[in-house]
Structure 1
Amino acid sequence: MRDLRYLIIAENPGFAPSQRAQLLRELRGILPALNVRVASRHLEILVRGINAEDARRKVEGAVGRVYAVIDVTDEDSLGSGDIGRFVELFNSERFWEAHAEIEPAWRRSGDRALQGLILMSAAFVKLQEGAPDKFVLLAQEALELLEGAPQKIGCIDVLKLREQLAKSLVSRSPFAIACS
């Protein structure tokens, strides 16, 4: 039997990515936390081996309001390849889920542009984990993969996306993708 795994999206009461390691240690004192990512308005806490309600209750006691509890036991079933959903998740700084949304489509097709979107999302995950050096490496690789991509990926203007990502390499901050 597989360990149940849940991704808990909770309010961020003011943590910065630089405080991630300490927050993870504190959370591990009260629940089986595998990882934590710090976004500007929310926290993403990955837990395993605990039921969803117990996890919700413990996270609410530790950091505050829980917005969602998502069963991620079977990661392969998380994504449908919907670019609009990818954009929605990305713009909500839910980068790990954004990458999971399109990964199955990339695995089926091997499309370099989809791989570029996945790596771009993974880069921002690294920012949330307080690893700016890894952000730079992944963002640069994403830019290379998106070079020569079609003008549009679903509703995404690739040229504009590449410009935004290049600016993020300097600012080390996320941006919103315009979907047209």
Structure 2
Amino acid sequence: MIVQFGSALIELVLGDITTQEVDAIVNAANSYLAVGGGVDGAIHDAAGSEIMQELERRYPDGCPTGSAVATSAGQLSARYIFHAVGPVWQGGGKKESQLLESAYETCLNLAEQYDCQSVAFPSISTGVYRYPVDLAGEIALRTVATKLESTKQIKLVRFVLFDQGTFGCYSRILETMLV
């Protein structure tokens, strides 16, 4: 599914984020920037050990929730990895929505800062952090669409979704944004 916002596109695909040919891949990281499971583990495995070494050297204090940091992309075809720290779902009363929105915004700002025209995002916080996919998808798509309306730099934001349920949920949300 591909939809235009401003002069850019939002694309939804079912697949493996590590194989995407984009300028930057977003990693769903933890605040310690340590190798985790899920998307984080897959990206580190595909990119190679130099990414962890770069993270330890450049960001020894980690990254706060709701923010992101940039590294090279190692053995991936992308130029950069943006390591975004989304919130752990605690029922919605701990500013989770603002923190998730901030994580996406920070990545989009990094894309502009690093002269990226294309970015691939996973569904941040919806795995082991248990953020409800429907709520997370709404925040992700709305935040990206808003940014794309005002930027000339970014031409493509691709959401690479790992399973059919998440893909279907994001697709339904994106369709309602067009009405």
Tell me the TM-score normalised to structure 2 length. Answer: 0.31
Larger RCO, structure (CA 8 Å, separation 6 or more)? 2
Tell me the TM-score normalised to structure 1 length. Answer: 0.31
Q: Which of the two has higher C-alpha Rg? A: 1
